[in-house]
Structure 1
């Protein structure tokens, strides 16, 4: 299938089905749309406490702020290369107010269970820190320069210390932990300390099964292009050219007849499946563009 057909079919799917947020992401990446438009839509998901909720993470339907949707807001700003000062100020306030006494942010709060949610978005307690999403939240707060007045504050240092301690005593339990390690290590200014941790992460990434190398693998697995959505991805050094090309061919073939890409997990509802497919479709297009397929 030609590159123009792939993009045209995806555009039809997105404008027929996707959230405004993902349509604006598409416009930014493929039609010269302004990043400010993405920010304005993203702002509607932010709450007065500075955190994000309102189903920004499609499987957490509660309106109140939760850690992972707040992390997603940082990811979206990083994606478009535009960190909004006011939005970052609010996120810093949210992280400050939710940092646990020993550092770290919980994976999810019990309030998520008061609304429809995927089975994994539940917890018995609100006081358990987790590297996911603490690592990437702090990593991206390091990376952005729109508002950095908080980086010497005690709560931020407490989170940084929590992450270093976690990296020294744990190994990632899967993809979602691994990307937290990567984001923090790629962005921490403590480069000497960081360099001592790369071998541990490299050894883990090289383990069989961490990066799924079979392009035909089914189910919720993280394949070559999930780890390496662009040639500049850190995990690219673990991937051969042959593996990369086979996965790119399969990725293009996975575009469905309606123009969108599927999700690899059980959807909470038909509506959330459609929302996630909009997000994933933009992600797949970005990967194909990064490797100059489209």
Structure 2
């Protein structure tokens, strides 16, 4: 793991992970908060993800902590693929054994995604079955139309994992069509769109639409260009690393302000508070583990050690 002063924000977050987080985030921390290759930890992460699998090939069982349902949800698949990409983007992701395991796991999710895909190729973020169990209020009755959130993320992350399934063709066309007629976006949809555009092969097309997204910052709901008490996606979620090309979409002062706010918001136990109401104490603790790992990685990458 990253070697830090025991009083540094990153070290305190690591302690929080050891004392508060679920096994998934603890093992993932062994992969992403180190400069060493850790095949054992990466394979353990994939084993933990498999523990959330259902007979339909999807994932559930509160893998994404705001949906306590045991039933499979696209939301949980997207969460798992984000974990896979974190593994692949780490030093461990250079190992052939790990890349092959990540590709196999990601490929195994395509059958389920096919079963919940709409006629136009898109996927809804959750299904109505999410409402049969405790959930965060923002999931409501679970009736969501297929959208760029999560379809754009799913396409990009599956491709990053080396998947080349036929499902991607229709899903990719869905994303391109929706982006071509780009509506007013919220922060989460913008995050999905920018993730997709970063990997789009037509770079001129991608740059044009990236600029169109950036023009919406000032009026975008659920997005915080500068630190705010209101919930919102931040520039650090879109471009967590200094070398991320998406950093150019934000004023340097906004990025620095969010880094300052992240350090200031760390609590005495080493974790961070949530900006929304989770569906119970287990969900709160699980999310705090997710945030502790995410924030520790951001702070380490940006030299806030």
Aligned residues: 286
CA distance in 2, matches of 1:204, 1:167: 14
CA distance in 2, matches of 1:13, 1:278: 8
Deviation at 1:111, TM superposition (A): 0.6
- Does the C-alpha gap of structure 1 residues 209 and 110 become closer, same or farther in structure 2, counting only changes over 3 Å? closer
Is 1:245 the counterpart of 2:256 in the alignment?
yes
For residues 1-294 of structure 1, the aligned pairs below 5 Å read 3-5=5-7, 6-30=9-33, 32=36, 33=38, 34-81=41-88, 82=93, 84-123=102-141, 125=143, 128-145=145-162, 147-148=163-164, 150=165, 153=166, 155-205=167-217, 212-215=224-227, 217-294=228-305
Report Cα offsets for 1:225-273 as digits up to 9, x if no partner.
2333211334311333333333222211211011111111112111211
RMSD in angstroms over aligned alpha carbons? 2.3
4+ residue stretches of structure 1 with deviation over 6 A? none
For the 8 Å contact 1:171–1:204, the answer to whether it is kept is no
- Does the C-alpha gap of structure 1 residues 257 and 228 become closer, same or farther in structure 2, counting only changes over 3 Å? same
Report Cα offsets for 1:129-159 as digits up to 9, x if no partner.
11110111011122221x42x1xx3x43222
- Does the C-alpha gap of structure 1 residues 68 and 172 become closer, same or farther in structure 2, counting only changes over 3 Å? farther
Q: Which moved more, 1:9-18 or 1:128-137?
A: 9-18
For the 8 Å contact 1:263–1:277, the answer to whether it is kept is yes
For the 8 Å contact 1:14–1:23, the answer to whether it is kept is yes
For the 8 Å contact 1:62–1:114, the answer to whether it is kept is yes
For the 8 Å contact 2:21–2:286, the answer to whether it is kept is yes
TM-score normalised by length of structure 2: 0.85
Report Cα offsets for 1:32-58 as digits up to 9, x if no partner.
543222222222122232221110110
Question: SS of the counterpart of 1:70?
Answer: helix
Deviation at 1:173, TM superposition (A): 2.4
- Does the C-alpha gap of structure 1 residues 50 and 192 become closer, same or farther in structure 2, counting only changes over 3 Å? farther
Q: Could you tell me which runs of 5 or more consecutive residues in structure 1 were left unpaired when the two chains were aligned.
A: none
TM-score normalised by length of structure 1: 0.88
Report Cα offsets for 1:170-199 as digits up to 9, x if no partner.
324211100111121122334454344233
For the 8 Å contact 2:185–2:220, the answer to whether it is kept is no
- Does the C-alpha gap of structure 1 residues 13 and 89 become closer, same or farther in structure 2, counting only changes over 3 Å? same
CA distance in 2, matches of 1:181, 1:12: 34
CA distance in 1, matches of 2:286, 2:222: 27
Q: Could you tell me which runs of 5 or more consecutive residues in structure 2 were left unpaired when the two chains were aligned.
A: 94-98
- Does the C-alpha gap of structure 1 residues 87 and 243 become closer, same or farther in structure 2, counting only changes over 3 Å? same
Q: Which moved more, 1:69-78 or 1:262-271?
A: 262-271
